[in-house]
Structure 1
Amino acid sequence: MNSELSALLGDLVTVTHRLTRLAAQATGENTSPAAWRTLSVLTSAGPMRLGELAAASRVSQPTMTKIVRGLNELEWIKRIADSSDARAWQIAIAPKGQIALDDWRFRLGVALEPLFADLSSREVDVLAEATDLIGDRMGVQELAA
């Protein structure tokens, strides 16, 4: 195992969590982080049953039930019949939810832009490359899960 790489990845997780909290606070948004995480999971993984969604979001099933209830009231998710079990339902992101998530992500970027406004074009390229690299690795991980 490469301890230097492990330390770097640990630092990356820590700094990105701090960056996420800073951006969320700067937007003044009251929607819970768990709601945004749920919409993100549905966007990347597609429709899933409540228990699967709870596991993917790392919350209990009763907690996910509350999150889904709130998202349903906002019309940000929709329930669809599970094609593999006529008695079951899957949760999917609704068009209003996708719009809200896209807007939230944009506002996060706007909130953080002043912190990074003085980056050189090379540094912006490094961020873009790092984002692509991490996104590609996460895509590989999601496929393996």
Structure 2
Amino acid sequence: MHAEPTDIIESLLTSNHRLTRMAAQSTGSTVSAAVWSTLSVLIAEGPRRNGELARSARISQPGMTKLLAGLIEDEWVYRIADTDDSRAWLIAITDKGRAALDDWRAQLATATRAIFGDVSDTEWATLGRAAEILAARVGSKAVAA
């Protein structure tokens, strides 16, 4: 039986969410998923106003305001003037924030190694190709298989 495209996409989304959740839990980190989501949005989409960032990260605007206070204090993000509106600020990621996100992603990858310990070379090639396809569709970084 051939799976429908929507079934495949649903499976990918569900599996990805579960894998990310399992990896995050296994690291023991207490940093909120909202932090990583916010930093990921800033890397993918560039500097954003608070409201835009809140929508993209799927956080309430008051929640984002509170989250940003901590991220600014940690020097993971900073405010820059919005050239389109002198009354507004944009939020941008710092090199320190980018490094923190890169480290978090490496921790997630390390945390999932046991799950993939018995994957064959053929399966790795398939996963690599799937990662390339997904990255091309959603604009993320892909690793050559």
Q: Same fold (TM over 0.5)?
A: yes
Secondary structure at the aligned position of 1:91 is classed as strand
* Whole-angstrom CA distance in 2 between matches of 1:48 and 1:71: 14
Secondary structure at the aligned position of 2:66 is classed as helix
Specify every segment of 5 or more residues in structure 1 that has no aligned partner in the other structure, as ranges.
141-145
Of all paired residues, the percent bearing the same amino acid is 50
Residue type of the partner of 2:44? S
2:25 counterpart residue number: 25
Query: In the TM superposition, what is the alpha-carbon distance from 1:139 to its structure 2 partner?
Result: 2.3
Q: How high is the TM-score relative to the length of structure 2?
A: 0.91
1:112 counterpart residue number: 112
Residue type of the partner of 1:75? E
Query: In the TM superposition, what is the alpha-carbon distance from 1:119 to its structure 2 partner?
Result: 1.0
Structure 1 residues 53-95: Cα deviation after superposition (integer angstroms, max 9, x where no partner)? 0111112110111111111111100111111112111000111
Residue-pair matches, total: 138
* Whole-angstrom CA distance in 2 between matches of 1:125 and 1:93: 33
1:43 counterpart residue number: 43
- 1:1-145 paired onto structure 2 within 5 Å: 4-139=4-139
Specify every segment of 5 or more residues in structure 2 that has no aligned partner in the other structure, as ranges.
141-145
User: What is the RMSD computed on CA atoms of the aligned residues?
Assistant: 1.3
* Whole-angstrom CA distance in 2 between matches of 1:19 and 1:10: 14
